[in-house]
Chain A
Amino acid sequence: MIPEIGHFALIVALIVSLMGAVIPHMAIARGDTRLMALAGQFAYSQFLLASVAFGALTYAYVISDFSVLNVAANSHTAKPLLYKVSGVWGNHEGSLMLWVLILSLFSACIALGGKNLPLRFRSRVLAVQSALLVGFLLFVLLTSNPFMRLDPAPFEGNGLNPLLQDPGLAFHPPMLYIGYVGLSVAFSFAVAALMEGEVTPLWARWVRPWTLAAWVFLTAGIALGSWWAYYELGWGGWWFWDPVENASFMPWLAATALLHSSIVVEKRDALKSWTILLAIVAFSFSLLGTFIVRSGVLTSVHAFAVDPERGIFILAFLAVIIGGSLSLFAWRAPKLAPSGIFSLASRESALVLNNILLATFAGVVLVGTLYPLLLEAVNGTQITVGPPFFEFAASVLMSPLIVALGFGPLLAWKRGNISRASQILLPAVIIALVVFWVTIWQDAAGTFMTGFGIALGLWLIISVGMEINKKANFWKHPAGFIGRAKKLPRATWGMSLAHAGLGIILLAITVSEAWTSEALRLMKVGDSENVGGYDFTLEQVTPVAGPNYTAVRARFLVEHNGRFIAKLAPEDRVYSDPPMNTTEAGIYPTFLGDVYAVIGEYAGSDAWSVRLYFKPLISGLWLGAGLMAIGGLISLSDRRQRIGAPAGKKRSKRVLKPKKAGA
């Protein structure tokens, strides 16, 4: 009965969404404000109905109702409760339900939080959101119904892929989805602005907090996924440039560009059509990411061939949303006349450079991801594009970005002064050059790129420090430094933290790539092995049993020059449903880096194959990503961001002259 209620709620949600997508436009055409106000009610109802449907599916998972096909195919009674719940979105149908839920949640948030947007504009935005929801609901109901019944019901379910039974991965998809779907708000705002034919600095103010929130979740979601790969896949890698990862990285790049370009729109009323385009593209990347990868057009088009109906639907849906919005853009963009002018050395120029490089990078990742597919379509040859291509592109495009990033925040709007900025940044330049020279000259690093990467990372971190220092004026009046630093706008702090986070990530990547030590050995209990200055002693190997797996657990004692560092307990697990082997690495992060051990197969005569690593500074990756996300949150908590929406009352006048500091 419960699943039928869920199914019914979806159908009603579809009807409400159809109404929500059409009625507000009609109301605007007629100028009927009472009817326009209904858009909010539609949004609340959509969210309520989507919650009921999602709740029903979750309930079926929690009680292991195997008469529901989706549950039988993806769940199992012996799974811990956490993974029964996370199993809901661990499959195609369920993940679509999560999309629907989050999309309707964002609509409800716009309705609730956007009370002060002009009514006309708010109705347009909500109508676009409703139209998106119509597409998703149609897709769920017509091709991917999660409430399909199975008769007779099997006694036991198939279970969830054991790789996915992990706390990191239980929360990774929802985070990422909130990020993806959060970009729908920017999209809807952009489409609504195109319909209205007007983009004002206020528009950028409204859209920025939403973009920022989505960006924070995307950042956290990607970092969580990378962390999962690091400790669960068991060979120390954390990013592989495979299509699924690229699919989450492209929207992130576009969203990052959008965050920066919307500042220019807000402060200087320039880059308007470009920003609108970015908002459309960022969400299009999200759609492309979830849909194309989920249904496997890239990793295996076979999945499409099996269910051509689903494939065609996806394509048609994407064509309508992306093609439609880009057509609207091509038609209306000329109305968005550029106004602000600025000189070459200015904050605007720095942000434009940021946008060019980020957009190019996103484009390169897109080409690299789709190139194999395109080439095969053209002449039938199959190729793969591997990490070397992406790494090369990343180093070429990100290096100038980071060099410019040091200067950007110190340049004034409209007309900046590069030589003054250079003076402020002189210490950073000197330290970076010295470090670069030392690493290359001493051959400590070996390759050129290592020295370059370290120098760039330090340059960025020190520049951020110098910039805070400049803004709070430490040298001239050291006394009140802390007080002045506290008074800096939160947006400034958020920006600085996020930028410093990027510097830390760069350092972590460079150092860990260059100086990781690793060993693949056969070890017996009692054997010792030195890896990167750390002594790993295999103390014991014991069998253990988990709720739905059995495992072999090793215990390593790790010492550094005879001093106790950690005990590691890596496991080699064998799950029963479905039968599959996973590794749980034993990791202990120290200040200098991670000690990392993996136990492999039994190699005969009491020996086990083990892999041992010392990965210097690798925690900096997640620390840096964490700083970026926290920086985003701090910036989001800035009063100026929060009052963005209420300022909408004065829409017709361009009253915005915010203080200059921060961005």
Chain B
Amino acid sequence: MNGAMRFIPLVVVLVLFAVFFTMMSGDRNPKEIKSVLIDRPAPAFSLPSLEDGAAAITEADLKTGKPLLVNFFASWCAPCRAEHENLMLLAEDFGLNIVGIAYKDTPEKSRAFLDELGSPFSVVAQDIDGRAGIEWGITGVPETFLISADGMIRYRHWGPIVGDSLQKRLLPKLEEIQ
């Protein structure tokens, strides 16, 4: 802790305080959250498919030429059950492709979950250790991303798609990009 090292803590703190100061003098409202991922290409990933023997699922699978959804779910997550009905509706009545990402779950449990409730997904990828979740910056499950035909993220839905969030939030966004 001699030499230049001893100044490090002081410098770190001074920089921090400078940041706090500028943040406070600025006129900003932190309640308006935007996601950095919006209007950016989906992050790169490569995850094993839940289907035995199928090829790994990567970000290339998101560029299908039409809009699709990426849904992070888990069998251990109660709100995922709650939104499941709406995902089925989107897949069946709207003909939307939904890529499921089974987040921090075992393949057996994910399969049992989909066998029990039916699968709304065109493909299911497994994110067993949650690394893809970090890349996508999810804060929990379920979270759903709307991807446009060119593979860009257009909308991010926090939490389950239940109640009027389907009609009022997700569907208008879908219409917008179609």
Out of A315, A377, A520, which one reaches B82, CB within 8 Å? A520
- CB atoms of A333 and B1 under 8 A apart: yes
Residues of B within 8 A of A (CB): 1-2, 6-7, 9-10, 13-14, 16-17, 19-25, 27-36, 76, 78, 81-82, 104, 106, 108-109, 128-130, 133-134, 137-140
Q: Whole-angstrom distance from the CB of A521 to the nearest CB of chain B?
A: 9
Question: How extensive is the interface on chain A, given as a class?
Answer: 35 or more
Task: List the one stretch of A212-220, A386-394, A499-507 in contact with chain B.
Answer: A386-394
- Least distance between B67 CB and chain A CB atoms (Å): 24
Interface-central residue, A300, A312, A326, by most chain B CB under 10 Å: A326
Residues from 163 to 213 in A contacting B, C-beta threshold 8 Å: none
Say yes or no: A273 contacts B1, CB within 8 Å.
Answer: yes
Task: Collect the chain B residues with CB atoms within 8 Å of residue A152's CB.
Answer: none
Q: Is the CB of B78 within 8 A of A388?
A: no
Q: Which among A317-325, A343-351, A398-406, A476-484 touches the partner chain?
A: A317-325
Assembled-state Cα–Cα distance A300/B23 (Å): 11
- Given A315-B17, A377-B23, A388-B130, 8 new contacts (CB under 8 A): A281-B9, A297-B24, A301-B28, A305-B28, A315-B24, A382-B32, A392-B130, A519-B78
Query: Which of A322, A374, A388, A447 has most B Cβ within 10 Å?
Result: A388
Cβ–Cβ contact B30 & A301, under 8 A = yes
Return A310 CB to nearest CB of chain B, in Å: 10
Does any Cβ of B come within 8 Å of A308's Cβ? Answer: yes
Chain A contact residues: helix, strand, loop or mixed = helix
In the bound complex, CA of A373 to CA of B133 (Å): 21
13 A-B pairs (CB sep. < 8 Å): A277-B9, A301-B30, A312-B24, A330-B7, A330-B9, A330-B10, A334-B2, A382-B30, A382-B36, A384-B137, A386-B137, A446-B109, A519-B78
Q: Give the CA-CA distance A312 to B20 in the complex, in Å.
A: 10
Q: Which 7 A-B pairs have the closest CB atoms?
A: A446-B106, A273-B1, A386-B139, A520-B78, A326-B10, A333-B6, A330-B6
Answer whether A333 and B2 are a contact pair too, CB < 8 Å, given A311-B24, A382-B34.
Answer: yes
B113 to chain A, nearest CB (A): 12
Distance of A281 Cα from B128 Cα, bound (Å): 37
A354 to B138, CA, bound (A): 31
Q: With A322-B13, A388-B138 in contact, do A374 and B19 touch (Cβ < 8 Å)?
A: yes
A447 touches B128 (CB 8 A): yes
Known: A384-B139, A392-B134. A327 touches B10 (CB 8 A): yes
Task: Assess A518 versus B140: contact at CB under 8 Å? Given A323-B17, A384-B33.
Answer: no
Least CB distance, B19 to chain A, in whole angstroms = 5
B28 touching A387, Cβ below 8 Å: no
